[in-house]
């Protein structure tokens, strides 16, 4: 495939939503960690599906059903190839990261976690990678072990090693923190857990759009993600799992599609991945996800990553000039986002005022309340970037923050 030149004007044309005014000001969209905007090709793919192809899959003998089934399974192949899975069957489609993690807490939990057992997460997890484990462990009277981090937002690997020595049954950690931007050394952390034969789940919600993911090279046991954070529609995402695990794991939800034979006495289950995909899936969104993957692949990934790093560095430099700015998350390796507070100003007030200036950022605890507790703050202002953002937008954002801070002081 010929690669698109990284031409920011051409890229922005693909995202008409960016070209609008809010409160009479040009929109600056820096809430990409919450969800990215969708390019025209993705919107058109989903629209086309409903215009010409819509049908329930895997069950019809008629033309449309067969076409839709083939398209859905091709989408699985594309995603598998994107993360370098060994085979398409190692990709299970879900609603997104949250559902994938709930699936794992339930199913892998049932397979591996007995009364009193332990699971390891890190101090910087999103609630989605913490609450499902906590709830599962409450039922099994087990213990959640939490890898410590330092004030820069860097995980303490010595502490991690200590926790591994307690023989937890599962490790589940974020690749990139959605509050701090820290890029965790997951390859090293996976290898450390494997020395103790402990499977590792990686929460890739914040990484798929920004980094090249190779699940075989990482050797992770599971990698979970959300389509809507990587230019795809909402309501679709997935999990990669090593076939050895997926085959052993019990189903998560029960119903149509996931069964093989059913009688009132006994049910046998379909094979992987269908065993984990009960009911009618979001076919249109899966096709949108496939198109989003192809969209990302149509660029030189290194070039995109370098550009996004440049935006992050520039935003950090510019914000640092504003009096009282304190960055929350100063790990040497960060990606995609910047979290900060300004002394004496509530992040919510700052976010509300700059919104009126056309700048969309996220304020609050970002679904990671324990992180806020650790830093002793109510929340942060988070600006998160995508490939379509520009330095000019950063200039507008920084000026807005400066003006708002002066108004609030
Ligand atoms: N994990 C991380 C690191 C996230 O950033 C998010 C979304 N903010 C989630 C999990 C949950 O993703 P979703 O809401 O798409 O299921």
Q: Each residue's pLDDT tens digit in the chain (409 positions)? A: 557 778 999 999 999 999 999 999 999 999 999 999 999 999 999 999 999 999 999 877 899 999 999 999 999 999 999 999 999 999 999 999 999 999 999 999 999 999 999 999 999 999 999 999 999 999 999 999 999 999 999 999 999 999 999 999 999 999 999 999 999 999 999 999 999 999 999 999 999 999 999 999 999 999 999 999 999 999 999 999 999 999 999 999 999 999 999 999 999 999 999 999 999 999 999 999 999 999 999 999 999 999 999 999 999 999 999 999 999 999 999 999 999 999 999 999 999 999 999 999 999 999 999 999 999 999 999 999 999 999 999 999 999 999 999 999 8
Task: Name all residues whose Cβ lies below 6 A of ligand 1.
Answer: 96-98, 126, 128-129, 174, 178, 203, 205-206, 226, 367
SS (H, E, C) the chain: CCCCCCCHHHHHHCCHHHCCEECCEECEECECCCCCCCCHHHHHHHHHHHHHHCCCCCCCCCHHHHHHHHHHHHHHHHHHHHCCCCCHHHEEEECCHHHHHHHHHHHHHHHHCCCCCEEEEECCCCHHHCHHHHHHHHHCCCEEEEECECCCCCECHHHHHHHHCCCCCEEEEECECCCCCEECCHHHHHHHHHCCCCCEEEECCCCCCCCCCCHHHHCCCEEEEEHHHCCCCCCCEEEEECHHHHHHCCCCCCCCCCEEEECCCCEEECCCCHHHCCCCCCHHHHHHHHHHHHHHHCCCHHHHHHHHHHHHHHHHHHHHCCCCEEECCCCCCECCEEEEEECCECHHHHHHHHHHCCEECEEECCCCHHHHHHHCCCCEEEEECCCCCCHHHHHHHHHHHHHHHHHHC
Q: Which residues participate in catalysis according to the annotation?
A: 367
d(C-alpha 289, C-alpha 294), whole Å: 9
- The alpha carbon torsion through 229, 322, 344, 329 (nearest 10 deg) reads 40
Pocket test for ligand 1, best of 99, 123, 205, 228 (most atoms within 8 A of CB): 205
Which residue lies with its CA nearest to atom 5 of ligand 1?
A: 178
The three-state secondary structure class of 104 is: helix
Are 400 and 47 in contact by the 8 Å Cβ rule? The answer is no
Ligand 1 centroid to Cα of residue 196, in Å, is 28
**What backbone torsions phi and psi does residue 118 show, to the nearest 5 degrees?**
-120, 150
Ligand 1 centroid to Cα of residue 129, in Å, is 8
d(C-alpha 181, C-alpha 168), whole Å: 26
In 3D space, the residue among 360, 329, 310, 263 whose CA is nearest the CA of residue 33 turns out to be 360
Atom of ligand 1 at shortest distance to CA of 34?
A: 8
Which residue lies with its CA nearest to atom 12 of ligand 1?
A: 97
d(C-alpha 349, C-alpha 343), whole Å: 12
Are 171 and 193 in contact by the 8 Å Cβ rule? The answer is yes
Kindly give the interhelix angle for 63-82 and 283-297, rounded to the nearest 10 degrees. 40
Atom of ligand 1 at shortest distance to CA of 176?
A: 3
Atom of ligand 1 at shortest distance to CA of 178?
A: 5
Query: What's the pTM?
Result: 0.97
Domains and CATH numbers, the chain: 5-30+300-408 (3.90.1150.10), 43-297 (3.40.640.10)
Strands 237-241 and 222-226, by their bridges, are antiparallel
Ligand 1 centroid to Cα of residue 127, in Å, is 8
Ligand 1 centroid to Cα of residue 53, in Å, is 30
Which residue lies with its CA nearest to atom 4 of ligand 1?
A: 205
Which residue lies with its CA nearest to atom 6 of ligand 1?
A: 205
Which residue lies with its CA nearest to atom 14 of ligand 1?
A: 98
The three-state secondary structure class of 77 is: helix
Ligand 1 centroid to Cα of residue 59, in Å, is 32
- Alpha-carbon dihedral sign for residues 289, 293, 294, 296: positive
In 3D space, the residue among 334, 311, 317, 338 whose CA is nearest the CA of residue 211 turns out to be 334
Atom of ligand 1 at shortest distance to CA of 96?
A: 16
How many angstroms from the chain centroid is the CA of residue 150?
23
Pocket test for ligand 1, best of 122, 123, 174, 226 (most atoms within 8 A of CB): 226
**What backbone torsions phi and psi does residue 92 show, to the nearest 5 degrees?**
-105, 125
Ligand 1 centroid to Cα of residue 97, in Å, is 6
Which residue lies with its CA nearest to atom 8 of ligand 1?
A: 34
Pocket test for ligand 1, best of 180, 206, 207 (most atoms within 8 A of CB): 206
Are 209 and 184 in contact by the 8 Å Cβ rule? The answer is no
Element spanning 332, H or E: none
How many angstroms from the chain centroid is the CA of residue 187?
17
Ligand 1 centroid to Cα of residue 225, in Å, is 8
Ligand 1 centroid to Cα of residue 385, in Å, is 16
Residue 138 exposed, middle or buried by CB count within 10 Å (0-12, 13-18, 19+) = exposed
Tell me, what's the pLDDT at 6?
82
Tell me, what's the pLDDT at 409?
81
């Amino acid at each position: 495939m010929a690669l698109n030149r990284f031409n920011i004007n051409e890229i922005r044309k693909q995202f008409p939503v960016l070209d609008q005014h809010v409160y009479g000001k040009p929109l600056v969209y820096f809430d990409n960690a919450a969800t990215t905007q969708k390019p025209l090709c993705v919107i058109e793919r989903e629209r086309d599906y409903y215009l010409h192809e819509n049908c329930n899959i895997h069950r019809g003998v008629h033309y449309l059903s067969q076409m839709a089934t083939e398209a859905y399974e091709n989408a699985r192949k594309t995603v598998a190839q994107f993360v370098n899975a060994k085979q398409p069957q190692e990709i299970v489609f879900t609603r997104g990261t949250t559902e994938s993690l709930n699936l794992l807490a339930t199913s892998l939990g049932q397979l591996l976690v007995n009364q009193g057992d332990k699971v390891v997460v890190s101090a910087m997890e999103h609630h989605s990678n913490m609450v499902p484990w906590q709830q599962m462990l409450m039922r099994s009277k087990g213990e959640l072990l939490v890898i410590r981090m330092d004030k820069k937002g860097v995980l303490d690997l010595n502490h991690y090693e200590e926790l591994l020595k307690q023989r937890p049954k599962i490790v589940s950690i974020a690749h990139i923190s959605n509050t701090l931007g820290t890029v965790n050394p997951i390859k090293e952390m996976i290898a450390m857990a494997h020395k103790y034969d402990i499977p590792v789940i990686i929460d890739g919600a914040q990484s798929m759009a920004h980094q090249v993911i190779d699940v075989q090279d990482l050797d992770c046991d599971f990698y979970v993600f959300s389509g809507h954070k990587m230019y795809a529609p909402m309501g679709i995402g997935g999990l990669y799992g090593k076939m050895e695990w997926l085959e052993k794991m019990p189903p998560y939800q029960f119903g149509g599609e996931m069964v093989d034979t059913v009688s009132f006495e006994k049910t046998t289950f379909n094979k992987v991945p269908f065993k984990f995909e009960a009911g009618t899936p979001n076919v249109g969104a899966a096709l949108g996800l496939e198109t989003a993957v192809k969209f990302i692949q149509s660029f030189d990934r290194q070039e995109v990553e370098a550009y996004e790093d440049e935006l992050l560095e520039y935003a950090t430099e510019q914000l640092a000039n504003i009096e009282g700015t304190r960055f929350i998350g100063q790990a040497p390796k960060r990606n995609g986002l910047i979290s900060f507070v300004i002394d004496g100003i509530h992040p919510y007030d700052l976010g509300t005022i700059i919104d009126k200036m056309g700048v969309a950022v996220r304020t609050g605890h970002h679904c990671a309340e324990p992180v806020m507790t650790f830093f002793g703050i109510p929340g942060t202002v988070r600006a998160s970037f995508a490939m379509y953002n520009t330095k000019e937008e950063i200039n507008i954002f920084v000026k807005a923050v400066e003006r708002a801070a002066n108004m609030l002081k």
